[in-house]
Amino acid sequence: MECEWKPDDQGLQQILQLLKESQSPDTSTQRSVQQRLEQLNHYPDFNNYLIFVLTKLKSEDEPTRSLSGLILKNNVKAHYQNFPNGVSDFIKSECLQNIGDSSPLIRATVGILITTIASKGELQNWPELLPKLCLLLDSEDYNTCEGAFGALQKICEDSAEVLDSDMLDRPLNVMIPKFLQFFKHSSPKIRSHAIACVNQFIISRTQALMLHIDGFIENLFALATDEEPEVRKNVCRALVMLLEVRMDRLLPHMHNIIEYMLQRTQDQDENVALEACEFWLTLAEQPVCKDVLCNHLSKLTPVLVNGMKYSEIDIILLKGDVEEDDEAIPDNEQDIRPRFHRSRTVAQQHEGDRDGIEEDDDEDDDLEDDDTISDWNLRKCSAAALDVLANVFRDDLLLPILPLLKELLFHPEWVIKESGILVLGAIAEGCMQGMITYLPELIPHLVQCLSDKKALVRSITCWTLSRYAHWVVSQPPDTYLKPLMTELLKRILDSNKRVQEAACSAFATLEEEACTELVPYLAYILDTLVFAFSKYQHKNLLILYDAIGTLADSVGHHLNKPEYIQMLMPPLIAKWNQLKDEDKDLFPLLECLSSVATALQSGFLPYCEPVYQRCVNLVQKTLAQTMVRHAGTHAYSGHSLHQSQPDQYEAPDKDFMIVALDLLSGLAEGLGGNIEQLVARSNILTLMYQCMQDKMPEVRQSSFALLGDLTKACFLHVKPCIADFMPILGTNLNPELISVCNNATWAIGEISIQMGAEMQPYVGMVLHQLVEIINRPNTPKTLLENTAITIGRLGYVCPQEVAPMLQQFIRPWCTSLRNIRDNEEKDSAFRGICTMISVNPGGVVQDFIFFCDAVASWVNPKDDLRDMFGKIFHGFKNQVGEENWGRFSGQFPLPLKERLAAFYGV
């Protein structure tokens, strides 16, 4: 029946006209084309015209026909379920008949169209598709075979899971052996398609492939030296994935595979070399890495080092060999990557870590960014591979690498010298111990390279020095820190944007390492950073905010001096006033101000009002947009006609709200009681009540942090809302969402301290969840500590309610609090545990040794807390008698025994 469909001439001419116009560069023409396409979608047979132009209208030029197919593909994506049966059948049969079109562009377009229909869940409703495509592979006609393979490769990429499920009667049992037959085909394009298809099923260890794994590997080896780069690339990719999932099958051939990959990593074709280079990255993660690679290190090292040089094309793209001052050229907005805000997580202070938050993301530590080149290239991959191998082989890597470094670092050619500096940075983490002997000579050399005349040398040197910042800071400051800082600050004001960026990032790393060591140089540092404000283009401004925020985090209250505030605040506030509420640049600026407010404390008072007001407005605005959007969606969901309607209400960007809540937290923490009037004059508590119930976990996480900070700063305004807030906190004690749970736990603890005995009605809403969390295996340290402190605080204010459960949490409670420093939170928690022990002494008997150990972790408890400890020890000793106590304390490790004797006389 559908074969009867014929286009109407007038309609066809209209559509061809549209297709021609849509190729116009003029945006207003394009917009009107967009609107007319939308209108045409209401005619069921519009899609018949589109497929007709693609497959039948050979008189038209290929780009127009292909465009018709791509518009059809978009319609399939958006509206396929509304196509009448006749239309979708017509499209399907046309696709299968024309998969072998003589034009590669049309074949590819038909292939994309087939895949799009297949991925709409249509593989089940198009049972003849896969058998037909597999049949067409055997066609004598090259175009047909190639077109069918192209479509199959796209289907394998898009629908790998469906293909390997029971839904389709396991087609892979037929397809995979079939693909393997084509590894030996005479056409390189077909060979390449065949491997690419099979490669889709390696990582998921698809059964049908695992059955043929030996044949697959044999076939791969046969193609190892194929003359076609695309085939070699797919062979390398397959071996890299097999390394992850079927090491057992590769091990017998490992020596040869490594020799082969060494060759391919130096392949003439950079894409092949890049795929091969991934092999070393993957191998480094395997336990066998050291054994299988140790005899090849002397060969591999020079290959990786050689891959780390900029290629000639890189240099042209980077315009790096023309030494130019580009600081005045505005940034290309496309190059600015989206930033991710790290939401506030409340953490305890530990012995040994400076800032109390466990940072597990070294985002600044990634191998440096060449934004102008495609993100991932041979240079970066080689550097990353060297970095991970340095972590595997440690100082054993220095044997082959030091002679190379000597040659590179002092080389007259800048490209080679630059690659040497990158090598030195890449091995910094893994080979640190062995490098220490050379650093007194190398660091001054690098500091000199910071003023090299080539911008690319200056920028890589910034990065490499930042990788050795830890060592620099551990030496007497005048020896290396001072000269390094002086030169880095000059580079922050470099005339080249790439150098500015590298220097700013490196300086932020140095700040984190040096902390208060920087205090003597603060005036000089601020001078530079403030001057950079007037100099920087858009992208580097964002990095500058980060450097200023990190500085505030690192030196804390030392920043609170009138002359520093006078330098720093006016330019920050000027930027703050320039930015509109919709501008994403507010994120880094809000984060920066949050750190500054926390550091300056009362010094921030003159600036707090406008900042506070704007944050509250941002939260209010975002909440309002969320409400509007939900109303919009519900109103039109019933009518297909209005399907496009809700899109007019863009999903609000909740990051604005999250960052604003975090800055309010920073203000509350920095200003303390001074924030009280601002809170009194705003509706922040109502807004917080909504944020605490938001669908998005990050919004809840930040609102609980703010609740805790406001509880500490001005409880009188929070108290009337406690009855509303507590049930919400209780439902968020879900350890699946670590950070949300953590902040909710912390807030409950802060509220308990303020509420005192009035906390009693709420204990039941939270206690069972808290006890469950503290007993869970693998709970992260921060969450355990906060949970223990909150349980202790609840027990301090409501001992009668909490003490009966003592036995269920005393042991994990003691082990999780023995590692944190003496502070207010630890103090209130231990007072709570002592109070509970006096109510229910039986609850601690079995685990008393853990209690002894936890108490011994106090360096300097307040006198009255020390008395509480003493009472418990003596009470226990009297209870069990001298002899039993002697036997009991006999099990103590010696330091514990001595401490308790010295402090508490037991």
Query: Could you tell me the pLDDT band of residue 105, with boundaries at 50, 70 and 90?
Result: confident
Question: Residue 371: pLDDT above 50?
Answer: no
CB–CB of 832/820 below 8 Å?
no
Q: What is the DSSP letter of 857?
A: T
Chain centre distance of CA 456: 27
Lowest mean pLDDT among 160-164, 543-547, 809-813: 160-164
The CATH number that applies at residue 67 is 1.25.40
Query: Could you tell me the pLDDT band of residue 239, with boundaries at 50, 70 and 90?
Result: very high
Give which of 165, 54, 166 is closest to 114, Cα–Cα.
54
Helix (H, G, I), strand (E, B) or coil at 145: helix
Question: Residue 125: pLDDT above 80?
Answer: no
Q: pLDDT tens-digit profile of 695-713?
A: 999 999 999 999 999 999 9
- Helix pair angle (439-449, 414-426), 10° resolution: 130
Residue 350: φ, ψ to 5°: -110, 155
- Final residue before a domain boundary, out of 101, 121, 141: 121
Residue 328: how many other CB atoms lie within 10 Å = 9
Helix (H, G, I), strand (E, B) or coil at 748: helix
Question: Residue 469: pLDDT above 90?
Answer: yes
pLDDT at 57: 77
Query: Could you tell me the pLDDT band of residue 448, with boundaries at 50, 70 and 90?
Result: very high
Helix (H, G, I), strand (E, B) or coil at 350: strand
Mean pLDDT of 561-584: 93
Question: Residue 359: pLDDT above 50?
Answer: no
Counting every residue written for the chain, the total comes to 906
Question: Residue 310: pLDDT above 70?
Answer: yes
Chain centre distance of CA 285: 20
Task: Report the alpha-carbon distance of residue 229 to residue 273 in Å, rounded.
Answer: 10
Chain centre distance of CA 429: 21
Query: Could you tell me the pLDDT band of residue 121, with boundaries at 50, 70 and 90?
Result: low
pLDDT at 507: 98
Q: Tell me if 92 is assigned to some domain.
A: yes
**Residues with Cβ within 8 Å of residue 29, at least 6 apart in sequence:** 21, 22
Q: pLDDT tens-digit profile of 761-777?
A: 999 999 999 999 999 99
pLDDT at 116: 85
Task: Report the alpha-carbon distance of residue 136 to residue 147 in Å, rounded.
Answer: 9
CA atoms within a 13 Å half-sphere pointing along the CA-CB vector of 797:
22
CB–CB of 448/442 below 8 Å?
no
More confident residue, 366 or 112: 112
- Final residue before a domain boundary, out of 76, 94, 121: 121
Residue 327: how many other CB atoms lie within 10 Å = 16
pLDDT at 650: 52
Task: Report the alpha-carbon distance of residue 638 to residue 697 in Å, rounded.
Answer: 29
More confident residue, 206 or 711: 711
Mean pLDDT of 558-584: 93
Query: Could you tell me the pLDDT band of residue 434, with boundaries at 50, 70 and 90?
Result: very high
pLDDT at 169: 73
Question: Residue 605: pLDDT above 90?
Answer: yes
Question: Residue 17: pLDDT above 80?
Answer: no
Asked whether the CA dihedral 856, 857, 858, 864 is positive or negative, the reply is negative
**Residues with Cβ within 8 Å of residue 37, at least 6 apart in sequence:** 18, 22, 71
pLDDT at 340: 64
Mean pLDDT of 395-416: 95
* Residue percentage of the chain with pLDDT more than 70: 92
Residue whose pair of structure tokens reads 């300056």 in the numeric block:
600
Domain housing 860:
751-905
pLDDT at 4: 66
Secondary structure (DSSP) of 65-115 = HHHHHHHHHHHHHHHGGGS-HHHHHHHHHHHHHTTT-SSHHHHHHHHHHHH
| Torsion of Cα atoms, 742 then 745 then 749 then 750, to 10° | 60
Q: Tell me if 113 is assigned to some domain.
A: yes
Number of domains present in the structure of the chain? 2
Mean pLDDT of 111-123: 80
Q: pLDDT tens-digit profile of 251-293?
A: 999 999 999 999 999 999 999 999 999 999 999 999 999 999 9
Give which of 799, 876, 880, 870 is closest to 840, Cα–Cα.
799
| Identity of the highest mean pLDDT range in 7-16, 119-128, 483-492, 532-541 | 483-492
Question: Residue 322: pLDDT above 60?
Answer: no
Secondary structure (DSSP) of 753-773 = HHHGGGGHHHHHHHHHHHHHH
pTM of the model: 0.80
Q: Tell me if 781 is assigned to some domain.
A: yes
CB–CB of 743/701 below 8 Å?
yes
CB–CB of 655/587 below 8 Å?
yes
Task: Report the alpha-carbon distance of residue 311 to residue 319 in Å, rounded.
Answer: 12
The CATH number that applies at residue 790 is 1.25.10
CB–CB of 559/518 below 8 Å?
no
- Final residue before a domain boundary, out of 73, 89, 121: 121
CB–CB of 300/284 below 8 Å?
no
Question: Residue 357: pLDDT above 60?
Answer: no
Q: Tell me if 333 is assigned to some domain.
A: no
Helix, strand, coil content of the chain in percent (nearest 5): 75, 0, 25
pLDDT at 651: 64
Task: Report the alpha-carbon distance of residue 299 to residue 310 in Å, rounded.
Answer: 21
Q: pLDDT tens-digit profile of 61-78?
A: 878 788 888 877 887 777
Task: Report the alpha-carbon distance of residue 387 to residue 396 in Å, rounded.
Answer: 13
pLDDT at 207: 87
* Residue percentage of the chain with pLDDT more than 90: 61
pLDDT at 485: 96
Q: What tokens appear for 891 in the block?
A: 């099990």
Q: Tell me if 860 is assigned to some domain.
A: yes
Task: Report the alpha-carbon distance of residue 889 to residue 415 in Å, rounded.
Answer: 67
Q: Tell me if 829 is assigned to some domain.
A: yes
Q: Tell me if 851 is assigned to some domain.
A: yes
More confident residue, 165 or 250: 250
CB–CB of 693/728 below 8 Å?
yes
Mean pLDDT of 595-607: 94
Residue 37: how many other CB atoms lie within 10 Å = 18
pLDDT at 341: 67
Task: Report the alpha-carbon distance of residue 216 to residue 176 in Å, rounded.
Answer: 10
pLDDT at 3: 55
Query: Could you tell me the pLDDT band of residue 638, with boundaries at 50, 70 and 90?
Result: very low
Q: Tell me if 392 is assigned to some domain.
A: no
